[in-house]
Structure 1
Amino acid sequence: YAYLRVLLIGSDSHIPNGGSLGGICIGVGGADAVEIMTGIPWELKCPKVIGMKLTGSLFSWTSPKDVILKVAGILMVKGGTGAIMEYHRPGIDSVSCAGMVTICNIGAEIGATTSVFPYNHRMKKYLSKTGRADIVNLADDSKDHWAPDPGCHYDQLIEINLSELKPHINGPFTPDQARPVAEVGKVAEKEEWPLDLQVGLIGSCNNSSYEDLERSAAVAKQALAHDLKCKSQFTVVPANVCGPCIGHWGRKDIQKGKKNTIVTSYNRNFTGHSDANPETHAFVTSPEIVTVLAIAGTLKFNPETDYLLGKDGKKFRLEAPDADELPQAEFDPGQDTYHPTSQRLQLLEPFDRWDGKDLEDLQILIKVKGKCTTDHMSPADPWLKFCGHLDNISNNLLIGAVNTENSRANSMCSAITQEFGPVPDTARYCKKHGTRTMARARTGSMHAALELHHLWGRAIITKSFARIHENNLKKQGQLPPTFVHPVDKLTIQGLKDFAPGKPLKCVIKHPDGTQETIHLNHTFDDMQIKWFHAGSALNRMKELQQ
Structure 2
Amino acid sequence: DPEVNASPEDFYDQVIDINLDELVPHLVGPHTPDLDRPISKVAAAARAEGYPLEISAALVGSCTNSSYEDIGRAAHVARQASAKGLRVKSPLLITPGSEQVRATIERDGLLADLEAIGATVLANACGPCIGQWQRDDIAPGEANSIVSSFNRNFPKRNDGNPGTLSFIGSPETVVAMALTGRLDVDFTREPIVGDGGVEVLLEAPSADELPSRGFDPGESGFIMPAADGSKVSVVITPGSDRLEALVPFSAWDGEDFSGLRVLMKATGKCTTDHISPAGQWLKYRGHLTNISQNLYIGANNAFSLDESGQGIDVRDGSVVALPDLAKKYKDAGIAWIAIGDENFGEGSSREHAAMEPRYMGGRAILVRSFARIHEANLKKQGMLPLTFVHARDYERIRFDDSVDVNGLAELAPDRNLTVTLHHTDGTEESFEVHHTMSEEHIGWFRAGSALNLLAAQRG
TM-score, shorter chain, exceeding 0.5: yes
Aligned partners of 2:97, 2:449: CA distance in 1, in Å? 37
* Counterpart among 191, 201, 208 of residue 318 in structure 1: 201
* Residue identity opposite 2:452 in structure 1: N
TM-score (norm 2): 0.76
Matched, 1:473 2:331: no
Aligned partners of 1:311, 1:525: CA distance in 2, in Å? 61
Matched, 1:508 2:410: no
SS, match of residue 59 in structure 2: strand
* Residue identity opposite 1:373 in structure 2: T
Residue 310 to residue 255, structure 1, CA distance change in 2 (3 Å): closer
SS, match of residue 384 in structure 2: coil
Aligned to 1:346: 244
* Counterpart among 82, 92, 114 of residue 234 in structure 1: 92
Contact 1:498 1:504 in 2 (8 A): no
* Counterpart among 425, 438, 441 of residue 337 in structure 2: 438
Shift of 1:181: 0.5
Q: Deviations over 1:375-406 (max 9, x none)?
A: 22223334444444322332232222222322
Q: Deviations over 1:31-57 (max 9, x none)?
A: xxxxxxxxxxxxxxxxxxxxxxxxxxx
Aligned partners of 1:330, 1:481: CA distance in 2, in Å? 46
Unaligned runs of 5+ in 2: 99-124, 226-233, 237-241
Aligned to 1:359: 257
RMSD (CA atoms): 3.1
* Counterpart among 509, 534, 544 of residue 447 in structure 2: 534
Unaligned runs of 5+ in 1: 2-143
Shift of 1:418: 4.1
Shift of 1:302: 0.8
* Residue identity opposite 2:330 in structure 1: K
In the TM superposition, what are the counterparts of 1:216-231 in structure 2 within 5 Å? 216-220=74-78, 223=81, 229-231=87-89
Aligned partners of 1:150, 1:244: CA distance in 2, in Å? 47
Q: Which moved more, 1:293-302 or 1:372-381?
A: 372-381
* Residue identity opposite 1:377 in structure 2: I
Aligned to 1:87: none
Contact 2:84 2:200 in 1 (8 A): no
Contact 1:200 1:293 in 2 (8 A): yes
Aligned partners of 1:539, 1:275: CA distance in 2, in Å? 36
Aligned partners of 1:408, 1:316: CA distance in 2, in Å? 49
Matched, 1:492 2:404: yes
Shift of 1:185: 1.0
Aligned partners of 1:537, 1:327: CA distance in 2, in Å? 38
In the TM superposition, what are the counterparts of 1:81-480 in structure 2 within 5 Å? 151=7, 153-220=11-78, 223=81, 229-240=87-98, 241-312=125-196, 314=197, 316-320=199-203, 322=205, 324-325=207-208, 326-327=210-211, 330-338=214-222, 344-404=242-302, 405-406=304-305, 408-416=307-315, 418-441=317-340, 442-443=344-345, 445-480=350-385
Contact 2:274 2:296 in 1 (8 A): yes
Shift of 1:544: 5.0
Contact 1:353 1:533 in 2 (8 A): yes
Aligned partners of 2:405, 2:356: CA distance in 1, in Å? 24
Aligned partners of 2:280, 2:202: CA distance in 1, in Å? 40
Aligned partners of 2:206, 2:313: CA distance in 1, in Å? 57
* Residue identity opposite 1:508 in structure 2: H
Residue 342 to residue 265, structure 1, CA distance change in 2 (3 Å): farther
Shift of 1:148: 6.2
Contact 1:366 1:412 in 2 (8 A): yes
SS, match of residue 403 in structure 1: coil
Aligned to 1:118: none
Contact 1:498 1:529 in 2 (8 A): no
Residue 227 to residue 525, structure 1, CA distance change in 2 (3 Å): closer
Shift of 1:219: 3.8
Contact 1:219 1:318 in 2 (8 A): no
Shift of 1:518: 1.8
Contact 1:377 1:401 in 2 (8 A): yes
Aligned partners of 2:386, 2:199: CA distance in 1, in Å? 59
Aligned partners of 2:37, 2:159: CA distance in 1, in Å? 23
**Percentage identity across paired residues of the two chains:** 41
Q: Deviations over 1:515-544 (max 9, x none)?
A: 222213132455544543433343344555
Contact 2:64 2:97 in 1 (8 A): no
Q: Deviations over 1:109-137 (max 9, x none)?
A: xxxxxxxxxxxxxxxxxxxxxxxxxxxxx
Aligned partners of 1:300, 1:502: CA distance in 2, in Å? 51
Contact 1:358 1:491 in 2 (8 A): no
Shift of 1:373: 2.0
Aligned partners of 1:474, 1:542: CA distance in 2, in Å? 16
Aligned partners of 2:325, 2:345: CA distance in 1, in Å? 19
Contact 1:303 1:317 in 2 (8 A): no
Aligned partners of 2:439, 2:202: CA distance in 1, in Å? 60
Residue 279 to residue 342, structure 1, CA distance change in 2 (3 Å): farther
How many residues were matched structurally? 399
SS, match of residue 385 in structure 2: coil
* Residue identity opposite 1:316 in structure 2: E
SS, match of residue 158 in structure 1: coil
Aligned partners of 1:419, 1:332: CA distance in 2, in Å? 58
Residue 148 to residue 207, structure 1, CA distance change in 2 (3 Å): farther
SS, match of residue 53 in structure 2: coil
Aligned partners of 1:272, 1:482: CA distance in 2, in Å? 28
SS, match of residue 460 in structure 1: strand
SS, match of residue 137 in structure 2: coil
Aligned partners of 1:293, 1:542: CA distance in 2, in Å? 50
Residue 297 to residue 369, structure 1, CA distance change in 2 (3 Å): same
* Residue identity opposite 1:482 in structure 2: T
Residue 434 to residue 329, structure 1, CA distance change in 2 (3 Å): same
Aligned partners of 2:235, 2:170: CA distance in 1, in Å? 37
Shift of 1:150: 5.9
Q: Deviations over 1:457-484 (max 9, x none)?
A: 1111110122333233233232222223
